[in-house]
Amino acid sequence: MEQNSLRIGRPPKAEPEALRSQLLGLIEQLGYERASMGSLAADVGMNVRTLHRYFPAKADIVWGGIESSIEILVSELNSADEARSTLDAVADAIAGVFDQNADDLAIMRTRLRLIALTPELQASRSATFEGWRQAIIRFVAFRLELAPNSLICVTAGTAMHAAIMEALSWWALHAEVADPAGCITEALHSLSALGEP
């Protein structure tokens, strides 16, 4: 009885990212649609109220924990090598985000695979990824010496952002491919190929 009582409520010194990792595995096993906050809470030995303290909604389990990546991306773009093309500089910056990301690749793949396979998660796309798009647009504007709201900058930045997101989804669904940064570089270079005859 005493042992059970220790499992109920808020775990002492609980680590949100360790808990997120555990929950992501459970969600993938159950399927996003079938995993309820109640079943997830029970599986990790919490009550639902405690789980909601960590993650207000189920989507927050999947989308959350990546907020710091926008600051890393901006920092990487700000220190980009001027000799690199804009596409290569953006690819380098994203690789830098991965290098500093707290998630290991297995957790990242699980997260991205869930997003790629779940329309509900795609519809509630994280504000962080919109921040990525805006950062890329501003970088393109800086490189081209144009206003960030110019058509060229918005279109080019958005196209690069879309290529990055598609590359990440593709990587998540192809377990035999080890390197997400390599997928992003290839996807970004595919954009330049569109201008060739």
56-79: per-residue pLDDT in tens? Answer: 999 999 988 777 788 999 999 999
Q: Are residues 178 and 115 in the same domain?
A: yes
CA dist 156 and 195 (Å) reads 13
Work out how many domains the chain is built from and give that number. Answer: 2
Give the percent of the chain with pLDDT over 70: 90
- Residue 22 belongs to domain with CATH number: 1.10.10
pLDDT, tens digit, 9 for 90 and up, residues 91-108: 999 988 888 764 578 888
- Residue 90 belongs to domain with CATH number: 1.10.357.10
Q: Are residues 95 and 185 in the same domain?
A: yes
> Positive or negative, the Cα torsion across 125, 117, 95, 55?
positive
pLDDT of residue 30: 93
The pair of three-digit structure tokens given for residue 185, joined into one six-digit string: 């570089």
Residue 54: domain span: 2-62
Residue whose pair of structure tokens reads 């201008």 in the numeric block: 195
Q: Are residues 75 and 29 in the same domain?
A: no
CA dist 117 and 71 (Å) reads 27
pLDDT, tens digit, 9 for 90 and up, residues 4-51: 444 444 444 458 888 999 999 999 999 999 999 999 999 999 999 999
Q: Are residues 47 and 79 in the same domain?
A: no
